[in-house]
């Protein structure tokens, strides 16, 4: 280096300019072609329409925020998530967004990232333990409560419904399940709930729904905790001769969670009746927004935000930005005190994905 500096200073003024470029070649910051902060995003899975939508939105918002992205996919496997995090650390990331589906088993990975001073934003799920810079999700208890109020109203407070639960190793599955059960016991004690564990598996959900409908043909409501169960549910209802117009007395009222385009289309067609629109677009946007804020040294505190949400403190050192997730129906009515948007509302991300 000393010899190179001496050579550069010894050349004539005319040739020095050209040589200066050669002396400085390769000195740009590593990890990004244009000096943008390098951040990692681990996608949790790519086998559902909701997560594929999130995957589609992420690079768009990364570009808008001036971030250089490295992406991986843990395919609903916490061991792969751990390995992906190790890979991203070795690539020099300055922050990591992830959506751990097993919210207990991710703790060691969070501890490793914290030790390396790499801020973490979790999306859609909140880890049971461990520190993260911000959690970006919606109020999942509200999902269960809104589904309960809709079905309770439609069934007139009596009858039988099936709840196709998500994975109870996830805080989302626990929140939705507990809130739905609590609401039914409190507000609609005349409704019997058949809770079915599915671990977010559509085939398992379809099989258990078919078994329940065979044993209890008077079931008139289904709560799917996510759109993973949509295709199988419609198929089972069709096989049973129950996929009929909402005005038909045999109609089974179906409420989902996600707000994917196919759900909105199915509501408009009268095949299902409602969903809670989980904001895939805002999950992508604010996961990256908070990573950039962490890199810039910004801090946040509980309270209202400038994007129609509320930050709450869920435990010491952990904040959660609870984004808006509206109930969506065909008529945009109010059910059990819960207002809804019409399925063709242009503000819904599921109507703007294309």
DSSP letter string over 157-196? T-EEEEEEE--TTSHHHHHHHHHHHHHHHHH-TTEEEEEE
Q: Residue 24 has what pLDDT?
A: 33
Torsion of the alpha carbons at 50, 98, 46 and 148, rounded to the nearest 10: -30
Side-by-side strand order, sheet with 253-258: 191-197, 159-165, 221-224, 253-258, 274-277, 327-329, 338-342, 334-335
Contact 183/151 with Cβ under 8 angstroms? Answer: no
Q: Residue 34 has what pLDDT?
A: 59
| Phi and psi at residue 346, to the nearest 5° | -75, -10
Q: Residue 15 has what pLDDT?
A: 35
Q: Residue 1 has what pLDDT?
A: 38
Contact 298/305 with Cβ under 8 angstroms? Answer: no
Contact 219/251 with Cβ under 8 angstroms? Answer: no
CATH fold match for the domains 38-138+280-323 and 140-277+326-351: yes
SS (H, E, C) 50-71: HHHHHHHHHHHHHHHCCCEEEE
Q: Which residues pair with 311 in a beta bridge?
A: 303, 321
Q: Residue 354 has what pLDDT?
A: 64
Fold of 140-277+326-351: Rossmann fold (3.40.50)
Contact 315/323 with Cβ under 8 angstroms? Answer: no
User: What are the residue boundaries of the structural domains of the chain, listed by start?
Assistant: 38-138+280-323, 140-277+326-351
Rounded Cα distance between 243 and 255, Å, is 14
221's enclosing H/E stretch is strand 221-224
- Tell me whether residue 266 is exposed, middle or buried, using C-beta atoms within 10 angstroms of its C-beta: 0 to 12, 13 to 18, 19 or more: buried
Contact 309/324 with Cβ under 8 angstroms? Answer: yes
Q: Residue 353 has what pLDDT?
A: 80
Q: Residue 27 has what pLDDT?
A: 28
Q: Residue 35 has what pLDDT?
A: 77
Residues in the chain with pLDDT < 50? 1-31, 33
Q: CATH class for domain 38-138+280-323?
A: alpha beta
Residue that the structure tokens 């019997």 belong to: 192
Q: Residue 316 has what pLDDT?
A: 86
Q: Residue 188 has what pLDDT?
A: 98
Kindly provide the residue ranges of all beta strands, DSSP E only, lying in 34-128, ordered along the sequence.
38-43, 68-73, 96-98, 120-123
């Amino acid at each position: 280096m000393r010899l190179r500096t001496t050579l550069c200073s010894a050349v004539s003024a005319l040739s020095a300019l050209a040589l200066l470029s050669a002396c400085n070649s390769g000195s740009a910051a590593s990890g990004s072609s244009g000096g943008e902060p390098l951040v990692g995003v681990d996608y949790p899975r790519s086998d559902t329409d909701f997560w594929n939508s999130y995957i589609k939105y992420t690079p768009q918002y990364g570009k808008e925020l001036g971030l250089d992205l490295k992406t991986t996919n843990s395919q609903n496997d916490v061991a792969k998530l751990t390995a992906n995090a190790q890979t991203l650390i070795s690539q020099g990331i300055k922050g990591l967004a992830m959506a751990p589906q097993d919210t207990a088993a991710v703790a060691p990975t969070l501890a490793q990232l914290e030790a390396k001073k790499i801020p973490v934003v979790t999306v859609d799920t909140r880890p049971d333990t461990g520190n993260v810079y911000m959690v970006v999700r919606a109020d999942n208890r509200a999902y269960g409560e809104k589904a309960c109020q809709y079905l309770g109203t439609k069934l007139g407070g009596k009858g039988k419904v099936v709840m196709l639960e998500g994975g109870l190793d996830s805080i989302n599955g626990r929140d939705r399940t507990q809130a739905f059960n609590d609401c039914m016991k409190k507000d609609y004690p005349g409704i019997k709930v058949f809770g079915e564990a599915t671990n977010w598996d559509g085939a398992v959900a379809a099989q258990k729904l078919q078994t329940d409908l065979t044993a209890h043909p008077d079931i008139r409501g289904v709560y799917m905790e996510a759109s993973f169960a949509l295709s199988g549910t419609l198929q089972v209802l069709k096989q049973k001769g129950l996929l009929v117009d909402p005005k038909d007395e045999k109609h089974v009222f179906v409420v989902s969670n996600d707000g994917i385009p196919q759900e909105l289309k199915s509501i408009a067609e009268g095949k299902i009746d409602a969903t809670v629109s989980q904001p895939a677009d805002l999950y992508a946007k604010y996961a990256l927004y908070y990573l950039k804020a962490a890199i810039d040294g910004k801090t946040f505190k509980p309270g209202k935000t400038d994007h129609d949400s509320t930050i709450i403190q869920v435990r010491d050192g952990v904040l959660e930005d609870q984004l808006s997730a509206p109930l969506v129906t065909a008529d945009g009515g109010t059910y059990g005190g819960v207002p809804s948007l019409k399925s063709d509302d242009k503000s819904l991300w599921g109507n703007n994905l294309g």
